[in-house]
Amino acid sequence: MNILYDERVDGALPTTNKNALIQALLEQMPDLEILHSQEELKPYECDGLSAYRTTPMLVVLPREIEQVEKLLKICHQQHVPVVPRGAGTGLSGGALPLEKGVLLVMARFNKILEIDPAGRFARVQPGVRNLAISQAAAPYGLYYAPDPSSQIACSIGGNVAENAGGVHCLKYGLTVHNLLKVEMLTVDGERLTLGCDALDSPGFDLLALFTGSEGMLGVITEVTVKLLPKPQSAKVLLAAFDSVEKAGRAVGDIIAAGIIPGGLEMMDNLAIRAAEDFIHAGYPVDAEAILLCELDGVEADVDDDCERVRQVLEQAGATEVRQAKDEAERVRFWAGRKNAFPAVGRLSPDYYCMDGTIPRRELPGVLRAITELSAEYNLRVANVFHAGDGNMHPLILFDANTPGELDRAEALGGKILELCVKVGGSITGEHGVGREKINQMCAQFSSDELTLFHAVKAAFDPSGLLNPGKNIPTLHRCAEFGAMHVHMGQLPFPELERF
C-alpha cells in the first residue's frame, strides 16, 4: 500500500505543549480564532483526497495578514510545523495536517481587492474562489482563463500552490502562465513580493519557482492574475469514436494540423454513460470515446477552424461529428465534462482520481495499457482527461469496505503514474504531489535532482517547518521504495531528512 501518512514525520518532531502554544498565540492575538477540541478539528482532517485522515493539533482561522505574520513567527520560534490550507478541494493530500502541527486556514481572505480593466489584471486575496474572479471581471468583458473543474469552490491560493490547470489550459496555459505577482510570508513571517505588475521582472523567476510549491516555501497572502478579453465567438464540436485509440490519435492529428483549440477533452465510455445519466448533456452513450473540441476567437476564424477540425476528425475515424447548435448546447456539452468526477462517483462507493501527463503521441498506447492494467487489478477505470495537453485523470473505481480493494486501487494508480514516466511524461499535471505521489517522485527524479529540490526547500525554509513531508521525498524514502541507491549512507540536508 502506498502509505500517504508517514508516522515518521510527526514522530521526528519535538513534542509541543498545546496549551502553551494556544496561550502564546492568544497573548499576541486575542481575537485569533483557534479550534482545538476534537469535534472542531474533525472537519479539517483531510483535503479532497479523503481516504487518508489526520487530526491536526490546532486549526487557526485568521482574518488579518498581521495575524498570519505573528502566527508564523511564534510557530517558528517554538519549532511548530505549519500546514497552509485553502478551500480544501485538493486531490493529492497536499493539505493533510500533522498531529503535532498547526493547520493554517486561509479561507477567510476572500476579498477581490482590485479589478483593473485597462491593465487587464485582478488583485485578489488567496481565499477568493477561482470562478469569482471571472464573475467580477465579466462586466468589463474580461475573464480569468485557468478553469479547474472545481472552479466553483477551489480558491486561487490553492490554484497557485498546485499550479492548477483546467479544460482551457491547452491554449491559455496553467496558473503559472496567468500570474503577474504573488505576495507571500516566509516561514518566519517575513513579507516578500515575487513578480511584479509588468509582464516580466529582472532576476531569477522566483514566481514560477514558487507556483506549484504546495505550501512548502511560503504562505500566499495576495495574488495578482492576468485577465483576458472574452473571445468574440466560441463553438464546440463533439466527436464520437468506436475505440479510444482512434480518439487518442485524433488528438495528435488536430494539433498536427496547426490548430490550437481553446479546449480539447476526452472521455471513455464509462465516463460518458456516467455523465449522461447525471447531466443529460446529449452525449452518445454507445460511443467508446468522445472528444470535445472548442474553438474560440474571431467569428470568421472560428467557423474556418470548425470546418478544418471536422475534416480531421472524420479522417481520424469519427463515427459522428456534431457541433453545438447554440450557446445552451455548448454549455451542456461542457457541463457533462466538468461534472464527470461527481458523475463517476455515482457508479461506485469510492473512486481514486489519478493525475498524470504524457506526450500526446503516446495517448493510444497508454490508454491501451491502462485497459490492460484495469483487467490485471480487476478494477474498473473511467478515463476523463485534458487530451490536448496529455493530462490524464483515470478514475479507479473501488469499494473501501471490501478488504484489499483500496490497496489494489493504490497499486494500480502507482503503476499508471510509473507508466506516464516511462513514456516521457510526468506523475502530475495539475493536482500536485502532496503525500499521494511522493513515492512516484522517486521514479521520476534522480537523487541529484531530489538533492537540488531539497536545497531549494532549505533556502526558503531551513528548519523544514512549512508543510513537512509533502511533495519532495527524502532519499531514504526513495531507497526504501527501491528507486535509487544512497551512496555510503550520505544524505544532504540532514535537517530535512526527518521529514
Domain of 117, CATH number, reads 3.30.465.10
Instruction: With respect to residue 430, please indicate whether it lies within any of the assigned structural domains.
Output: no
Is the pLDDT confidence value at 19 over 80? yes
Do 89 and 133 meet the contact criterion of CB atoms below 8 Å apart?
no
Q: How far apart are CA 163 and CA 430, in angstroms?
A: 6
| pLDDT at residue number 40 | 97
pLDDT of res. 275: 97
Q: Are 283 and 358 found together in one domain?
A: no
Asked whether residue 434 is assigned to any structural domain, the reply reads no
Give me the domain span that covers residue 218. Answer: 112-229
pLDDT number for residue 451:
95
Q: Report which of 273, 262, 223 is spatially closest to residue 384, judged by C-alpha positions.
A: 273
| Residues 222 and 124 placed together within one structural domain of the fold | yes
Model pLDDT, residue 479 = 85
In the chain, what is the greatest distance between 2 CA atoms, to the nearest angstrom? 71
Q: Is the pLDDT of residue 4 over 50?
A: no
* Distance from C-alpha of 436 to C-alpha of 51, rounded to nearest angstrom: 11
Whether 432 is in a domain gets the answer no
Rounded Cα–Cα distance for residues 471 and 161 (Å): 11
Residue 483 has a pLDDT of 57
Mean pLDDT of 128-134: 98
Q: Which residue has the higher pLDDT, 471 or 198?
A: 471
Q: Give residue 140's pLDDT.
A: 98
Q: Say if residue 267 is in the same domain as residue 309.
A: yes
Q: What is the pLDDT of residue 485?
A: 40
Residue with cell 485582478: 122
Query: Would you place residue 15 in the very low, low, confident or very high pLDDT band (cuts 50, 70, 90)?
Result: low
Distance CA 306, CA 313 (A): 10
Which domain-ending residue is among 212, 229, 246?
A: 229
Higher-confidence position of 14 and 473: 473
Question: What average pLDDT does the chain have?
Answer: 92
Asked if 60 contacts 34 with a C-beta cutoff of 8 angstroms, the reply is yes
Are both 163 and 133 inside the same structural domain?
yes
As beta bridge partners, residue 84 has: 104
Q: Can you tell me the distance from the alpha carbon of 313 to that of 378, in angstroms, rounded to the nearest whole number?
A: 33
pLDDT class for 390, splitting at 50, 70, 90? very high
- The string over 231-267, giving b where at least 16 C-beta atoms fall within 10 Å of a residue's C-beta and e elsewhere, is beebbbbbbbbebbbbbbbbbbebbeeebebbbbbbb
Domain assignment present for residue 413? The answer is yes
| pLDDT over threshold 60, residue 12 | no
Mean pLDDT of 134-149: 97
pLDDT for 303 beyond 70: yes
Checking if the pLDDT of 13 tops 60, the result is no
Taking phi over 0 as left and psi of -120 to 50 as alpha, with beta for the rest, 252 belongs to alpha
Judgement on whether residues 198 and 140 belong to the same structural domain of the protein:
yes
Out of 342, 368, 393, a domain closes at: 342
Which of 395, 372, 267, 253 is closest to 311 using CA atoms? 253
> Nearest 5°: phi and psi at 472?
-105, 115
Residue 76 lies in a domain: yes
Whether residues 225 and 140 share a domain: the answer is: yes
Per-residue pLDDT at 499 exceeds 90: no
pLDDT band at 52 (very low <50, low <70, confident <90, very high): confident
In a domain, 1, yes or no: no
- DSSP line for 329-355: HHHHHHHHHHTHHHHHTTTSSEEEE--
- Position 477 pLDDT exceeds 90: no
CATH code, domain carrying 72: 3.30.43.10
The predicted structure's pLDDT at residue 480? 81
Last residue of a domain, one of 342, 371, 402: 342
Confidence of residue 146 (pLDDT cuts 50, 70, 90): very high
Report the pLDDT averaged over residues 302-307.
Answer: 97
In angstroms, rounded to a whole number, what is the distance separating the alpha carbons of residues 41 and 54?
10
State whether 245 and 225 are in the same domain. Answer: no
Instruction: Say whether both 270 and 240 belong to one domain.
Output: yes
Asked whether the beta carbons of 498 and 12 are under 8 A apart, the reply is: yes
In a domain, residue 468? The reply is: yes
* Residue 11 pLDDT grade (very low, low, confident, very high; cuts 50, 70, 90): low
Contact between 133 and 223 (Cβ < 8 Å): no
Q: What percent of the chain has pLDDT over 70?
A: 93
* Structural domains of the chain, count: 5
pLDDT band at 7 (very low <50, low <70, confident <90, very high): very low
Tens digit of pLDDT for each residue in 168-181?
999 999 999 999 99
- Average pLDDT on 482-496 reads 47
> Residue 394 belongs to what H/E stretch?
strand 391-398
**For residue 435, is it within any domain?**
no
Residues 353 and 335 grouped into a single domain: no
- Residue 491 pLDDT > 90: no
DSSP secondary structure string, 50-70? TTS----SEEEE-SSHHHHHH
The full 3-state SS of 110-131, as one line of letters, equals CCEEEEECCCCEEEECCCCEHH
CA of 372: how far to CAs of 243, 358, 376, 379, 497, in Å?
15, 18, 6, 11, 38
- Check whether 348 has a pLDDT greater than 90: yes
Task: Evaluate whether 95 touches 86 at the Cβ level (below 8 Å).
Answer: yes
- Answer yes or no: do 156 and 99 share one domain: no
Mean pLDDT of all residues in 52-71: 96
CA gap 298, 234 in Å, rounded = 9
Alpha helix segments (H runs only) across 181-298: 206-210, 244-256, 269-279
